[in-house]
Chain A
Amino acid sequence: MKITLPALSPTMETGNLVKWLVKENDSVISGQVLAEIETDKATMELESPDDGIISKIIIPENTENIKVNSEIAILKIEGEEEGDQNITETNNKIIETEAVSVESKLEVKPVLNEIKINFSDGTDSDSSKKWTEKEMTMREALNMAISEEMSLDKDVFLLGEEVAEYEGAYKITQGLLDKFGKERVLDTPISEHGFTGLAIGAAMSGLKPICEFMTFNFSMQAIDQVINSAAKSLYMSGGEINVPIVFRGPNGAAARVGAQHSQCFISWYSHIPGLIVVAPSNARDAKGLLKSSIRNPNPIVFLEHEILYNQKTLVPEEEDFTIPLGKANIISEGKDVTIIGFSMSINRILSAMPEINKLGLNPEIIDLRTIKPLDEEAIYKSVKKTNRVVIVEDGWGNTSFGSHLSYLIQSSCFDYLDCEIIKVSGKDVPMPYAENLEKLALPSSDEIIEAVKKATYK
């Protein structure tokens, strides 16, 4: 058996043989220290891989810069003459496969750059059916979605701070404890790291938790679990372990709750492969998207907005109403400029519309609804029609989702653009408490109007 200079760290390429602790013809046992090797990090001991006799020392001590895998000695193993050949053979195998890998690396085809997600569970039930609709708030719509899905599937359960007896800090979960009992609607301690991990473990074993963060600000306490445990497990396990979980709660700036309770997590979570990120702007979408999210086998970050909770739209009452994930909604068709938003920014865009119309402009407004994966097709189709783009996001502008969206649009629609892409973002400051400063920190109607003017050369 050939003893080679081992790699003793992930980055080691060469080493120094400092000292031999055995001589030729010494008998050694498995695990016995044979030599001291100096690596890029430390001096390590080289142990004998088996029982045998050191029949030859090839590299003398005090030799520097020996390449990893160089033969440094020969170990003769009792009664296993053919052992030598086996080892040589296996070493060759390693080298062969590595050679293959280098070659095949050169053949990476761009077609690979496609991640497929199966959304068959979220059928586009919107257009195909006449719904019985009722006007309700987003709060009621979310409650309805959770309640319906819990009735339909006993594996769905709800946990979070104050979700049960208190009936939700924002009353999204009102009445659910009475309806489903304490086994399925659970008040947790203020313990995000713990209960988020618990929910993920339950999801790994096949349950479908809805894990409420009282607000998404507190999800940072548990962000390691969301990213490292929920988002990556399917991939790391080679498809063995999926995590069917919905993390939901209010996101973004509410009203005057200061810096630690006012921030948007769209850019944070949409950065992460393995997560689906959803952000509804109205009650109808909230119901349909939350139901699709609960039915989806992947981890979902479902970002609501406190200011939208009380806003009403017509919402289908049927329990088979869902809205597919990954599909944007063209709120109003137009031709002069594409304005893209989601969640609260749709409200801001709509409040700017009267002024924009006065300018004689007819914009196309896209509500993304799902941030990751993006409905790129809908976006590009619109941009190719209008040739001008304004993106509105509440979150900080620095390295933001909107910045990435601008990149995607320019790389797919470069020849169609008549103007630079304009982004209206939150200001890059911690959220101030004072009313006037808070208003200034968030995108305003005026800023949206100015952006549209700039994009249309008005």
Chain B
Amino acid sequence: MAGGAPGGASKSEIYKGNGPKLLLPAWLFIGVFLVMPVAIMAIYSFLTKEFRGGVIWEFTLAAYDQFFLDRGLFGDEPPSIEWTYIGIFWRSIWQAGLATVLCLLIGFPTAWFIATRDVKARSVWLFLITVPYWVNLLIRTVSMKFLIRDTGPLNEFLLALGVIDTPLALVNTNFAVQLGLFYSYLPFMVLPIYAAVERYDFSMSEAAADLYASSWATLRLVILPVVKPGIVAGCILVFVPSLGAFLAPDLLGGAKTFMIGSLIEEQFKGAAGNWPFGAAASMILLTIVMGVLLVHARAQTKGER
């Protein structure tokens, strides 16, 4: 049987020939909600901008030119590489990457801890991890700001202890943005890793120990290969939304610098009103994210071989 479904011949016979029909809703959904919007973005990014928002249906590369080439403040200097937008992208990527690493460093031991409790305790811990996420992200981000502001509880506490003489300036710094991203996306790291660790057979660790493996070697050679899919999934789930995040940079970082998300928002909602440029920036972001996912997919298939 071509399908080779584990259920045997009877099952694949039912589905035989109906495959395309059964897939139709999924294809429709993907077509309407994924392919069409992306196609519209792709087309807009090659159109001429209309002043104060909108597009003129004339093909041009102006948006990509603006992204990559610098022609000076008045647009009449010989073109050189434009670092402004690359810089904004790089800052966002770096920040998302750092948030991912932080989430991994804290998330992995957390997931390990939960997965090694007994079954009842596990569900309590998982519940506690998810409870804060019943509250809207905006409210959690604002609360974080209340906690770390100059007159907030954290500074008051440290002042009272005498650890510091003047309040730590935490709000409106990169540190605050990192803290916000880390806090926002930590469960996206913990949950997939937990799912992977839960399936891990702990007798394998014992076997490794019997064979005189150090605990480092056990982690590297036995545990990591097994839980790797969970780690990779967690990293993607943290990295991708961090890349487009604008709540943490705006509220905790003081919106002093553009992130990819706020740069794109400014093109559609701000004074610039440059839709093709916003579309082009989105397409470039999409390309980067697709690149990350492709690398992941390639790694997955290699692992399976």
Whether A and B are associated in the same complex: the answer reads: no
Q: Chain A interface (Cβ within 8 Å of chain B)?
A: none
- Listed in ascending order, the chain B residues whose CB lies under 8 Å from chain A are none
